[in-house]
Amino acid sequence: MSKSKELITADIAKMSAFDNALHRNSNKAQGGLRAMMNKNSAAQNVAVEQYFQHWDDKKAEDETEEIRKARTADYTTISRQYYNLATDLYEYGWCESFHFCRFAYGETFSKAIARHEHYLAHSIGLKSNMRVLDVGCGVGGPAREIVKFAGCHVTGLNLNDYQVQRARSYAAKEGLSHKLDFVQGDFMHIPFPDNFFDAVYAIEATCHAPSLEGVYSEILRVLKPGGTFGVYEWLMKDAYDNADLAHRRIRLDIEQGDGIPQMFQIAEGLAAIEAAGFELELHEDLAAADDDDDDKSGSKSAASSPWYWPLGSDLRHAQTLGDLLTVLRMNKWGRIVSHSFLSMLEAAWIVPAGTRKTAESLGRAADALVEGGKKKLFTPMYLMVAKKPLA
C-alpha cells in the first residue's frame, strides 16, 4: 500500500550499508544477547565513537548553546547510532515496544504496555480501512499491537535499517506482513507524497527530532486534510529550570542515555504543533496522575504504579514473575550485575568493545528518568491529538 515519493537517497543507502555491516545477519534472529555477540567489532567502534563524541567529558555546568546546536545538527547520526548500540539491550531488558506507560492497580507490565498503545489508537480514531503512519516505529512492537487492535494498515518509518529489518521479521513471524510495511527514512524528510495518510502517530520518537515544529510540519504534509495526528511526547515539565544545575544534569543524562539532541518543555511542544499548522484538539500529561500519588497522610497510594517503576528498586509493583525479571534486569541493582557480566564478555571478546559503555549510559539515563519522574521535572507521555485543517 505504501508509495515512497522518491527513490532511496544516497545518504540512506550509506546508512543502510553500515547498519548491515554492523549487525550482519542478526536482523532476522532473536534480539538481545545473541544479537550483541554477532556484531562486527570494527563497525561497533565507529558507532560508539560517533555517538559518544557529543557527550564524553562534558558536564552540566559546561553546556553551551554551541554544544546543543552541534548535537542538533548531527541528529541523524545520534539517533541512528544510538539505536545501533541500544536496540539489542532494549530487547534484552525491556520488550519489543520501546516506550513507557501508565500502570493500573494489579496490571502486569505487558498488559499496561498494550493498553497504552490501544489508548493512542482509540484517541486518534483508528479504524480498519485506514492507512496509518507510525513515525519512528522501532522494531514494530506498537505497530503490530495497533494493527491487531484497530485492523488498520500501518506503515512504520525508521531511520535505523537494523530496526526496520527486525520489524519486518517480527511482522512476518506473526503473519501480519499484509497489514504492515516498514520503510527506512528520515522523519524530517518523510519519503511519502503530500496528503497520503489517513492518520499518523508517534510514540516517544519525535523527541529525537532537531525541531519539533519541523517534524510536526512534515507529518502535517503527508496527512490528508481532516486527518488526525496523535503523539506521546517526551517533554520537560513546567517545574524544570535549566538554570538549576541539578535539573540540567537530569536532562542531560536523559538525553545522553536516550539519543536525544535536545529536549523541550511542554509549552514549546504545544507551540510547535500549532505553529506547524495543526488544530490542537486534546493535550494532557498522562504521567500527571503520578503527581497525585500521595494520600493526605503522606503515604504512597497503592491505586497505581508510577510509570518509572520498572527502572526503580521498588519490587512491590511487580505482578508476575515476568514483571519481576524485567525490573531485576532494568533496576539499579540488576544493572550492576548485568554490567559486570558484559565486562567479562567484552574481556573475552564475546561481545564487542563499547557494549558495557552503552549499557552504563542507558543505566545513567534510567536513574535520571526515575529522578526526573519523582521530582516532576519530566514526562515521557505528554499526549497531543491534533487535526489537519480541511482547507
The DSSP secondary-structure symbol of 299 reads P
What was the pLDDT predicted at 114? 96
pLDDT in tens, 242-275: 999 999 999 999 999 999 999 999 999 999 999 9
Rounded to 5 degrees, what angle do the CA atoms 96, 98, 101 make?
A: 110
DSSP code per residue over 57-99: T--GGG--HHHHHHHHHTHHHHHHHHHHHHHHHHHHHS-SS--
Lowest mean pLDDT among 147-151, 157-161, 180-184, 338-342: 338-342
CA–CA separation, 222 and 124 (whole Å): 16
pLDDT in tens, 79-128: 999 999 889 888 877 888 899 999 888 888 889 999 999 999 999 999 99
* CB of 1 closer than 8 Å to CB of 155: yes
Instruction: For 1-391, give the CATH class.
Output: alpha beta
Question: C-alpha grid cell for residue 236?
Answer: 520537560
Report yes or no on whether pTM surpasses 0.75: yes
What was the pLDDT predicted at 178? 96
Which is nearest to 373 in space by CA: 289, 273, 315, 271?
Answer: 289
* Segments of 114-252 assigned E as strands: 131-135, 153-158, 180-184, 197-203, 223-236
